[in-house]
Amino acid sequence: MDLTTHKTADTHESAPSYGSGGSGSAPAPDPLKLAVVIGSDREGRFAPVVADWFLARATVREDFSVDVVDVAEVDLPTSLSYRPAAPVRAELAKVSPRLADAEAFVVLTPEYNHSFPASLKNLIDWHYGEWQAKPVGFISYGGISGGLRAVEQLRQVFAELHAVTVRDTVAFPNAGGQFDSDGQHKDPAAPEAAVKTMLDQLAWWGTALRDARSRRPYAG
């Protein structure tokens, strides 16, 4: 089984046709504002390899405009507060408006002890409405599981936040061995197909939810 093109529901073998294409003459909608959240801040992390590889594919698409929110670039305490002190507000100011502005998310997560990193959960927990009524796709990596257990747990987290997680994911099992020293994937066909599927689903949901929010504010 090729875990890179993981399907989360193995009862649906023939995937429906998603995508932003079509034969009609309707004008293309504005690009969706996509925030790519890099979830590891570990010293010596592998995250940039996976992130750069993904970003090289996401940023060439005309249906997304991409921003990168890296947990390593924001210093948020693990003690949450409804009235954060000025230094914390300054850190939040680096990320919160960008998460609020985003119309879709791709969360890039490694797997730590069969779950996702605390650094990622901390960023998620500092926010609430920023995630609401928006779609979330996943890129995962790790050891033998490719981060799939982290992703399945994140689906529960984002459901609580009124976000919609898309079905297909991109997973890199034993990730260190999949990329060469230049950060190129050694056998890119399957992960590139997986990226396209995930982003097509994200574009569909992102456009649908953008339209829905503009017609009727999400009530929670």
Ligand X SMILES: Cc1cc2nc3c(=O)[nH]c(=O)nc-3n(C[C@H](O)[C@H](O)[C@H](O)COP(=O)(O)O)c2cc1C
Q: Is 151 in the site for ligand X (CB under 6 A)?
A: no
**What is the nearest approach in angstroms of ligand X to the Cβ of residue 46?**
4
Segment contacting ligand X by CB under 6 A, of 52-60, 94-102, 137-145, 206-214: 137-145
Q: Is 70 in the site for ligand X (CB under 6 A)?
A: no
Segment contacting ligand X by CB under 6 A, of 23-31, 71-79, 136-144, 189-197: 136-144
Q: Is 112 in the site for ligand X (CB under 6 A)?
A: yes
Instruction: Give the integer Cα–Cα distance in Å for 210 and 62.
Output: 17
Nearest to 147 by CA among 192, 105, 110: 110
Among 70, 103, 111, 168, binds ligand X (CB under 6 A): 111
Segment contacting ligand X by CB under 6 A, of 1-9, 45-53, 76-84, 204-212: 45-53
Place of tokens 């099992």: 173
**What is the nearest approach in angstroms of ligand X to the Cβ of residue 120?**
10
Q: Which is nearer to ligand X, 7 or 149 (CB)?
A: 149
CA distances to 14, 17, 40, 64, 67 from 119, rounded to whole Å, are: 36, 35, 6, 26, 19
Among 12, 89, 94, 114, binds ligand X (CB under 6 A): 114
Q: Is 43 in the site for ligand X (CB under 6 A)?
A: no
Among 144, 156, 186, 219, binds ligand X (CB under 6 A): 144
**What is the nearest approach in angstroms of ligand X to the Cβ of residue 197?**
22
Among 110, 137, 191, 206, binds ligand X (CB under 6 A): 110
Number of residues in contact with ligand X, rule: CB under 6 A?
Answer: 16
Q: Is 45 in the site for ligand X (CB under 6 A)?
A: yes
Q: Is 142 in the site for ligand X (CB under 6 A)?
A: yes
**DSSP sequence for the chain:** --GGG--S-TT--S-----S--SS-PPPPPPEEEEEEE----TT-SHHHHHHHHHHHHTT-TTEEEEEEEGGG----SS--SS--HHHHHHHHHHHHHHHH-SEEEEEEE-BTTB--HHHHHHHHT-SGGGTT-EEEEEEE-STTTTHHHHHHHHHHHHHTT-EE-S--EEETTGGGTB-TTS-BSSTHHHHHHHHHHHHHHHHHHHHHHHHHHHS----
Binding site for ligand X (CB under 6 A): 40, 42, 45-47, 110-114, 141-145, 175
